[in-house]
Amino acid sequence: MGISKQEQQINEEIRDKEVRLIDMDGSQLGIVGIQQALDTAADRGLDLVKISPQAVPPVCKIMDYGKFRFDREKREREAKKRQHVMEIKEVRLSPNIDTNDFNTKLKSALRFLKDGDKVKVSVRFRGREMAHTAIGEELLARFAEGAAEIGTMEKSPKLDGRFMLMFLAPKSKNAN
């Protein structure tokens, strides 16, 4: 459970004198004293749970608290399962890369894009290669063109120190 989630008060933990009581089917039983509310819940073999502590008087519901917690945790697990965390994968190139190496790097980038991840494509310049950054820019443009049917260029090529960087993102599914 997260820190922000506050556990509800149940049964004897509720210290208010009067509460608005709601039955397990959702019908209101009115404003009653805390002891009467606890007795009603105990007679039915269920728990008294404070669901709205800010209200005046606080709202309490008669329910099976164990089942309620189990259902809530199950819903949270399902929601977490459906989430996809987008990662940034990196593909590194050099200005004098061979055609086959280029195609191999492109295939791996396409695989990352198909999996729904973003791809950071970088070209590293060494020594005198820094004088020929246009080669790197043309290489990245060719790379983006090769990935065009699966991904879109999110950030165009930009020189950052000895690296020229470009970001590709997968095309949205509803656009297809």
Residue 16: band (very low, low, confident or very high) from pLDDT cuts 50, 70, 90: confident
> Residue range 35-44: average pLDDT?
90
Tokens coding 115: 């999996």
Token couple for 100: 């086959």
The answer to whether 58 and 13 are in contact (CB under 8 A) is no
Element housing 48 (H / E):
strand 47-52
Note the pLDDT of residue 80. 84
Nearest alpha-carbon partner for 142 in 172, 99, 108, 89: 99
Q: Considering the entire predicted model, what is its pTM?
A: 0.53
List the structure tokens of 150.
């699966």
Main-chain dihedrals φ then ψ at residue 122, nearest 5 degrees = -130, 145
* pLDDT band per the 50, 70, 90 thresholds, residue 105: very high
pLDDT at 12 exceeding the cut of 80: yes
Confidence of residue 6 (pLDDT cuts 50, 70, 90): low
Integer-rounded Cα Rg, in Å, for the chain is 30
Higher pLDDT, residue 1 or 36: 36
What is the model's pLDDT at position 2? Answer: 42
Mean of all residue pLDDT scores within the chain: 86
Token pair in block for residue 19: 């509460």
| Contacts with 150 (C-beta within 8 Å, 6 or more apart), sequence order | 110, 113, 114, 170, 171
What is the spatial distance between Cα 127 and Cα 154, in angstroms, rounded to a whole number? 29
Pairing assessment for the beta strands 163-170 and 118-124 based on DSSP bridges: antiparallel
Q: What's the rounded mean pLDDT across residues 87-102?
A: 91
pLDDT at 4 over 80: no
Quick one: how many helices (H) and strands (E) in the chain?
A: 4, 8
Task: Count Cα neighbours of 89 within 13 Å in the Cβ-side half-sphere.
Answer: 20
Q: Give the side-chain half-sphere CA count within 13 A for 88.
A: 9
**What would the pLDDT profile of 139-176 be if each residue is shown by its tens digit?**
999 999 998 888 898 888 899 889 999 999 998 765 44
Is the per-residue pLDDT at 15 higher than 90? no
User: What is the percent of the chain where pLDDT is above 70?
Assistant: 94
